[in-house]
Amino acid sequence: MVFRICKRFTVECGHILSKHPGRCRYPHGHSQVIEVVLEANRLDESDMVCDFQVLKDAVRKIVESFDHAMCVNTEDPLYETLKARFGKRIVGFQSTDPTAETLARTLYEKIDERIRQGGLGSADPRLVRVRIRETRSSWAEFGRE
């Protein structure tokens, strides 16, 4: 048996899906809800997997780097122009479209690296998954089974 917690973040994030055959190939955005799920086999001295504020502080910069940003495939013809004009607000996805699935994987990898650095409490929590809700009825996630 394991204990699990989830912390939600909301960002306004745009993307261009250059491989998409329909309207999603045009720049558009979403109010995305990002769910970060941690687990631990035991609770810490405060009877928690991880204090929610500690988790929020640990991943805040990662999540905020996508807020009011435009995610673009680095092979998109507009990528270099957008990057030159808007700098760090353009997030490049190396040779892949920034779909909800690839965004979930990217966030998982960055957050997992941060959690492995430690400092989230004595329960030694592990990242289970990152879920991205693009709309009220659609989500994608990446994580361990």
d(CA 28, CA 50): 35
State pTM to two decimals: 0.95
More confident: 123 or 18? 18
Query: So where are the chain's domains?
Result: 3-130
Q: What distance, in Å, lies between the first and last C-alpha atoms of the chain?
A: 15
Q: Which pLDDT tens digit goes with each residue over 101-131?
A: 999 999 999 999 999 998 898 889 999 999 9
Cα 55 versus chain centre, distance: 14
Q: What is the mean pLDDT of the chain?
A: 96
User: Percentage of the chain with pLDDT > 70?
Assistant: 100
Supply the DSSP symbol for 119.
Answer: -
The CATH architecture that domain 3-130 belongs to is: 2-Layer Sandwich (3.30)
Task: Tell how many helices (H) and how many strands (E) occur in the chain.
Answer: 3, 6
Q: Which pLDDT tens digit goes with each residue over 64-98?
A: 999 999 999 999 999 999 999 999 999 999 999 99
d(CA 86, CA 96): 20
